Amino acid sequence: MSPLRSLRGRLLLAFLAVAMPPVLLLGVAVNLLVARSFEVTTRERLDQSLRAVRAEIDRRRTRAREALQQVVSVDLPAMETRTIRDAAIAGEVAAARDLAALEIVGSDGKVVSSRHWPAGFGLADRDGLFAGDESLRVEKVAEGYGASDQLAIMPQAQGEWRGRLVVVRGGPLLDAAFCQELGNLAGVEVALRDQVRGRWIAPAGSALLELEDPVLRVDSYPPARMRDATLAGRGYRWMATPLHPELWIVTALPRTALDEIQGNVGRLALAIAIAVLVGALGAALILSERIARPVGALARSARAMAAGEPAEPVPAGPGEIGDLGRAFHDLSDQLHTSRERLLQAERVAAWREMARRLAHELKNPIFPIQLSIETLRRALAQEAAPGRFGALFREASDTILEELRALKGIIDEFSDFARMPQPRMAPTDVAEVVTHVLDLYRPRVGTVAVETSLPPDLPRVAGDRDLLARALGNLVGNALDAMPDGGTLRVSASVADGSLAIEVADTGPGLTDEQRTRLFTPYYTTKKGGTGLGLAIVQGIVSDHGGRIQVVSQPGQGTRFTLLLPRMDT
């Protein structure tokens, strides 16, 4: 048979076929789950970064408003008493209130004083505005010998300066340094997108500076939408939220981490797949051997049992295979028991038939012989003086008649054995039968010690009380005959393997192997004057009750007979 067509080969293929798809599916599932998890984590991180930037801007706007209230209510009135140039006022007040940008604008729209753009003194205020939000402005900020436009949070408050109304604006700058600071805290790229002027506010070298003209509109950009972009030769994920319809906060993360994780997961999945396949192959080899070996032994045992040969022992381990082995073992035992019972029944039936024929054939000549001898004796008795021959004849005829009576007794036993009645089944208490038999044989006990073991909860058997008593009486009588000088007779009953076992054991001389094998053969006896039918009758009674008889004996160690009878509850 081809190795692949054997049970073990098919089991190996089955193990591999079962192990491969889950491993592959596991690798794909893990990869997808990691990608999805990274996707969710990236989205959450970017969204949290956007919220953090907005929250920081709102916090700085609130601080700026509070500082401006102090400026108009405290600082400007205090400055009235001092001799100070108007152009210097904003610088001194802003330094005291930690305001990066501060300007005082007169009612005519001209700059009275400016910290962030001192050169604007006396010039018209021309800040860049975002419609609908006066606190967001693009201010001129001095840089070296020139100036640049920078985004700032500039809430305003009205006050008085030297008897005239002024507007005071001040707050932090939303510049590259601001984006750098928040980006470092959040671990992401942070930038601001001015859609009015089409420019980025971001740290130098930020990858977001390469993001060209992103479509950012409140009416078309869904909340928490994450997009992909290739910036500076690397993949990025980015999200945006409006600070103003025309001013957006943008955060970004590189995809490098995801690519590395997916690569690592792929390599790990491959390593796991190889390890699982190797493990599955090893487990398949071991398990297939553990399964195929008992199944093979089971098949060999079944073939041997079918051929009538002794069945090979089947290994009985855990699990279904072990259950199968134990079931087969039980079946083999039951079949062996059934065969043994059948052989006993056939043997008993054969000997009964032979006994019937022998008794019939012997009865025919015995009766005329006996009748002839008795006739001759009557004729001799009528003679007046029979003489010496008469005396010899009477003596010889007495011997012949005595032997004929003995032979007739044997023939009667043959007839009884041949005509053994069928048992009349009824629920029978075995303990009661044993007690009754021992009471009958009590006068013959003599110096023999009798020991009994009869549990009170013994199940009943379906049997004929008289026939069972006859069988037990035969065994008890044989045991007593085997111990003429004393010994111990043990009679016990117990439940064993679904049967009720009755044991009769003696401490007599025991039996040889030859005697034990011929023990149930009719006309074979080890007792002087025995007919050799007692144990054959016992075997016949047990067989008629659907049971079997076992004998264990060794020379010098006594003999133990065991009657195994079916219980009524089985």
Least reliable range by pLDDT among 14-23, 85-94, 442-451? 14-23
Categorise residue 497: left if φ over 0, alpha if ψ from -120 to 50, beta otherwise.
left
3-state secondary structure of 538: helix
Q: Which of 180, 170, 197 is nearest to 92 (CA)?
A: 170
**CATH architecture under which domain 83-172 falls:** 2-Layer Sandwich (3.30)
- What does pLDDT average to over the chain? 80
Residue 34 has φ and ψ, to the nearest 5°, of: -65, -45
Q: Is the pLDDT of residue 474 over 80?
A: yes
What tokens does 138 get? 């693009």
Q: Of 53-67, 185-199, 515-529, which gets the smallest average pLDDT?
A: 515-529
Domain 426-566, CATH: 3.30.565.10
Token pair 């005829």 in the structure block, residue: 397
Going by C-alpha positions, the residue among 375, 371, 374, 377 that lies closest to residue 391 is 377
Q: Do 488 and 508 meet the contact criterion of CB atoms below 8 Å apart?
A: no
Can you tell me the distance from the alpha carbon of 217 to that of 208, in angstroms, rounded to the nearest whole number? 18
Q: How far apart are CA 501 and CA 562, in angstroms?
A: 6
Please check whether residue 474 is in contact with residue 537, taking contact to mean a CB–CB distance below 8 angstroms: yes
The predicted structure's pLDDT at residue 357: 59
Inter-axis angle of helices 256-306 and 7-70, to 10 degrees?
160
Distance CA 239, CA 227 (A): 6
Span 327-340, average pLDDT? 65
**Helix, coil or strand: residue 493:** strand
Q: Say how many C-beta atoms besides its own lie within 10 A of residue 307's C-beta.
A: 8
Q: What is the pLDDT of residue 152?
A: 95
pLDDT value at residue 353:
59
**Confidence tier at 50 by pLDDT (50, 70, 90):** very high
Token digits of residue 182: 């928040």
Confidence at 536, pLDDT banded by 50, 70, 90: confident
pLDDT tens per residue across span 147-171: 999 999 999 999 998 888 999 999 9
Block residue for tokens 């054997």:
6
DSSP secondary structure code for residue 74 in this structure: I
Q: Both tokens of residue 485? A: 């000088």
Q: Could you say which architecture CATH assigns to the domain 320-418? A: Orthogonal Bundle (1.10)
Closest Cα partner for 567 from 495, 499, 521? 499
- pLDDT of amino acid 398: 74
Nearest Cα to Cα of residue 337 among 468, 494, 497, 467: 497
Please report, as a single letter, which amino acid is at residue 86.
D
For 484-504, the pLDDT digits (tens) are 888 999 999 998 777 899 999
Residue extents of the structural domains in the chain: 83-172, 175-254, 320-418, 426-566
Give the residues across from 240 on adjacent strands.
250
pLDDT over 70 at 317, yes or no: no
Q: State the DSSP code for 110.
A: B
**Residue 251: its pLDDT value, please?**
93
Which is nearest to 425 in space by CA: 473, 458, 460? Answer: 460
Question: At 494, phi and psi to the nearest 5?
Answer: -160, 170
**Whether pLDDT at 285 is above 60:** yes
Task: Kindly indicate the confidence band of residue 538, based on its pLDDT and cuts at 50, 70 and 90.
Answer: confident
Q: What's the pLDDT at 306? A: 64
Mean pLDDT of 11-19: 68
Query: What gap in Å lies between CA 82 and CA 241, rounded to an integer?
Result: 47
Sole residue written with tokens 């997808």 = 32
User: What are the tens digits of pLDDT across the range 374-401?
Assistant: 777 777 677 655 666 666 677 777 777 7
Residue 1: pLDDT over 60? no
286: confidence class by pLDDT, cuts 50, 70, 90? confident
Residue 82 and residue 161 in contact, taking contact as beta carbons nearer than 8 Å = no
Tell me if the pTM is above 0.75: no
Q: Which two tokens stand for residue 534?
A: 């007692």
